[in-house]
Structure 1
Amino acid sequence: MAPKIDVIDPIGYERNGVPHEQFRWLRANDPVHWHYDPNERVPGFWAITRLEDIIYVSRHPELFSSHTRTSMFEEMSDADLAAHQQMMLFLDPPEHTRKRSMVNRGFTPRMINQLTDHVHEISHQLVDEICERGEADFVADIAAPLPLYVICEMVGAPLADRKRIFDLSNQLVGFDDPELNTSMETAQEASAEIYMYAHQIAEARQAEPRDDIATKLLQPDAEGNVLTQEEFDLFFLMLTIAGNETTRTAAAGGMLTFFQHPEQWRRLLADRSLLDSAAEEMVRWVTPINLFRRTATQDVELNGKKIKAGDKVVLFYASANRDESVIDDPDTFDIGRLANPHIGFGGGGPHYCLGTHLARLELSVLFEVLTERMPDLELAGEPRRLRSNFVNGLKELPVRFTPSPRRSRASH
């Protein structure tokens, strides 16, 4: 019998996590499913749940637009839509291609590898802050600050500003959660504040260039193309959300998953060569970003369903990452998984995650440091999930461990 299908209610995600049983049924029985929309102005949307179909939609931006109504599930007013449509995340080729090629140079594997020592040092600093206490909130003390510190490092933002940026990024993605935010208006105010902060960084780098990614992005590329200050500000806003939330969510969700699969934690402690494959498996299992939307630009058929021009099409990555037709034994958490064709960084195409190399580095380094310095980490209370159908996030993850001394100054 078909279950009641509702894979969009944020409260359901908060209480029960990702609705994997519903997704499993949809993949098997109705992989392109017409789903009600909580916004009464929208007749409904197509829920796409199979990996192959999501990759097809992602790689055909001429059929499925990120720009028409943006990639966000929520419907926006015309004024908000016009503002959001300027962001790279919400552009289609060829404009998206032009802007992405200009920012790509800050995110090459070579540029990211230069951050390796910084990420190690930041991870050790975070452990130093809590190691003597014997207990902590893994989200607030480890998972959340790590990517934020790294972003501050990348753009040369003073660490003193990190708390403000962190609070603003929470407001941007937490608008469904009453504890974090009460309205879309607050998210828009946070967005404007981050935008202004980026503007100050850009002005400072143009006046006094430094050896950081912000300076690199504001200088002409090999063809002489330059990001305008407005384009830089919009890019920084996107980096604050995408670069912060995804790593934070994968790290916290990954740690919780290890608590639920202690044999995999013991396996990692015994064999650190599994760190890279463990990072990939955490991203697959957690799927930090649950969904993005597209809008059909013309009538098109997908898996036997006729999608009309203007229809709302929603890609559920968390479902695709458990797709049994592509991934062997998808409901097993296996940190040694060799073939792992997950789409936790997107389904390919123009919007494949720009920060993939950075996220992999942050996760593998963080868990290397944790296995070294906190091998007996364990769950110390009830985890609390974010009320969101967008980010598969945790608000709290209480942990305990054997207290240990900070590093000596000589080891810094």
Structure 2
Amino acid sequence: MATCPFQNLLDPDLYMDGNHHRVFADVREKSNGLAFIEDPLTGVPYWAVTRREIADYVCKNPLLFSSAAKTILPKEMPEEEIALSRLMLVNMDPPEHVKYRRIVRNAFTPKAVEGYEERFREVAKETIERVVTKQHCEFVTEVAAELPLIAIMSLCGIPMSDKKKFFDWTNTMIFTEDEDMSGGEGVAASQAAAIEVYAYAEELAKRHESEPLTDIVGALLDGKVNDEKLTPEEFQLFFLMLIAAGNESTRSVIAHGMRLLIEHPKQLQKLVDAPELIPFAVEEMLRFNPAFVQMRRTVMEDTEIDGRQLKSGDKMVVNWQAINHDPEIFENPEEFDVERFRKRPELTSQHRAFGNGEHFCIGAHMSRLEMKVMFEELIPRLRNPTFAEPVSFVRDFFVNGIKTMPINFEGR
């Protein structure tokens, strides 16, 4: 009986030691970027895309490779859950996707995002001030999580007194594979947290009726698709997506960015000596460890890619992390180099930390700004950082998270 020659990229245990990139490289080299992999955990095999050229083809043909059919989540879900999830922007195909995206896109344009910088910098300064004299912190919860969560809450008009609630809810919703993050209840806990967020969104909608909101929430509630406002269910799911994606993703990349700087002190010293390199370092952090490991697509009709025959209904997993380490695009991709994008600025448009095509991340400009501001504020003040304990990674194949990262440093 033939056995699959590739390691299962949807095994959450693969991500617990942070060494999954070597597995991605092995799959890419042996398959030339498109591998058919068995998944004994679910019994559903899939095509894993690990080369940039193939990923771009998939992203630019959303009707052939659907986000809506089975959602973008790589896990298997019951049909009733899939049907509800199709109301979420990330799980839409054309033409619905473009229509719904229009409702909030103005809040995320480069010009609009620039207006958030002053507030972001205030939050970053306050965050660093709280830990700097201690010369020790748990970096994920005390630093990396602060700005992304406060930023998206501010944009959605959520009071800061509810910050802890949203931190816990988003952790529980996204990290269903990790017992520590989900409270050991997995999908059940995730669904319960989602219900809490739906109820919160419902209260915001009621408030908007008597006290019109002028933030993103107001734009969602007043926006129209085909001359009709969003249904309550559509609004609640849109709200949930903004909160969860706007919080967890940037938090994960900031945490990994700090980890990489600690692991590469010479690269960190370059940023201490030349802070103008920080925007380039941000691009390298995004390339090296994009927040989302991989997302699902469903093949909608029989097709051929590089001589491989894909059938209608086949599961496909586009692996963003592997794609960002494609040696055909990036020289020495396993090397963390904060000057990579200074030396070759054209590469900024070549990594896929934010996806590509119609589903390119609507919050890309905001994420970049949050990262730039945070590292501009912390690098001068948290000097000579070291790990106080081993890094603990989240057991999850979807979001590339760090669970805990206690660090020591010299505070300034």
TM-score bracket, shorter-length normalisation:
over 0.9
Corresponding position: 1:207 with 2:216:
no
Structure 1 residue 24: Cα displacement: 1.8
Name the aligned partner's letter for residue 188 of structure 2.
E
Contact 1:3–1:22 (Cα < 8 Å) also in 2: no
Report the Cα distance in structure 2 between the residues aligned to 1:222 and 1:66, rounded to whole angstroms.
20
Structure 1 residue 248: Cα displacement: 0.5
Report the Cα distance in structure 2 between the residues aligned to 1:223 and 1:128, rounded to whole angstroms.
48
Corresponding position: 1:315 with 2:318:
yes
Report the Cα distance in structure 1 between the residues aligned to 2:12 and 2:239, rounded to whole angstroms.
27
Report the Cα distance in structure 1 between the residues aligned to 2:39 and 2:284, rounded to whole angstroms.
31
- Distance change (3 Å), C-alpha of 1:373 and 1:137: same
Which residue does 2:344 correspond to in 1?
A: none
Corresponding position: 1:36 with 2:38:
yes
Structure 1 residue 236: Cα displacement: 1.2
Name the aligned partner's letter for residue 35 of structure 1.
I
Corresponding position: 1:13 with 2:22:
no
CA deviation vs aligned residue, 1:25-67 (integer Å, no higher than 9, x gap) = 322231211111244452x111111011111111111110001
Name the aligned partner's letter for residue 34 of structure 1.
F
Structure 1 residue 217: Cα displacement: 3.4
Which residue does 1:368 correspond to in 2?
A: 376
Report the Cα distance in structure 1 between the residues aligned to 2:164 and 2:96, rounded to whole angstroms.
34
Corresponding position: 1:245 with 2:251:
no
Report the Cα distance in structure 1 between the residues aligned to 2:94 and 2:108, rounded to whole angstroms.
20
Alignment TM-score, normalising by the size of structure 1: 0.92
- Distance change (3 Å), C-alpha of 1:83 and 1:127: same
Contact 2:136–2:408 (Cα < 8 Å) also in 1: yes
Contact 2:136–2:406 (Cα < 8 Å) also in 1: yes
Aligned residues: 400
Contact 2:8–2:39 (Cα < 8 Å) also in 1: no
Which residue does 2:236 correspond to in 1?
A: 233
Name the aligned partner's letter for residue 318 of structure 1.
Q
The aligned runs of 1:111-126 (5 Å cut-off) are 111-126=112-127
Which residue does 2:332 correspond to in 1?
A: 329
- Distance change (3 Å), C-alpha of 1:178 and 1:325: same
Identity of aligned residues (%): 35
Structure 1: state its 5+ residue gaps.
405-412
Which residue does 1:287 correspond to in 2?
A: 290
Which residue does 2:276 correspond to in 1?
A: 273
CA deviation vs aligned residue, 1:223-280 (integer Å, no higher than 9, x gap) = 9774444333211100121111110000000000001111111101111111211111
Contact 2:99–2:225 (Cα < 8 Å) also in 1: no
Which residue does 1:171 correspond to in 2?
A: 172
Structure 1 residue 18: Cα displacement: 4.5
Structure 1 residue 103: Cα displacement: 1.7
Structure 1 residue 320: Cα displacement: 0.4
Corresponding position: 1:354 with 2:362:
yes
Q: RMSD in angstroms over aligned alpha carbons?
A: 1.9
- Distance change (3 Å), C-alpha of 1:195 and 1:230: same
The aligned runs of 1:386-397 (5 Å cut-off) are 386-397=394-405
Report the Cα distance in structure 1 between the residues aligned to 2:381 and 2:221, rounded to whole angstroms.
39
Name the aligned partner's letter for residue 171 of structure 1.
T
Which residue does 1:73 correspond to in 2?
A: 74
SS of residue in 2 equivalent to 1:5: coil
Report the Cα distance in structure 2 between the residues aligned to 1:40 and 1:220, rounded to whole angstroms.
39
Name the aligned partner's letter for residue 131 of structure 2.
I
Structure 1 residue 158: Cα displacement: 0.3
Contact 1:127–1:142 (Cα < 8 Å) also in 2: yes
Which residue does 1:342 correspond to in 2?
A: 351
Corresponding position: 1:152 with 2:153:
yes
SS of residue in 2 equivalent to 1:202: helix
Contact 1:10–1:176 (Cα < 8 Å) also in 2: yes
Name the aligned partner's letter for residue 36 of structure 2.
W
SS of residue in 1 equivalent to 2:316: strand
CA deviation vs aligned residue, 1:279-312 (integer Å, no higher than 9, x gap) = 1111111121000000100001112210000000
SS of residue in 2 equivalent to 1:313: strand
Name the aligned partner's letter for residue 108 of structure 1.
T
- Distance change (3 Å), C-alpha of 1:229 and 1:6: closer
Which residue does 1:128 correspond to in 2?
A: 129
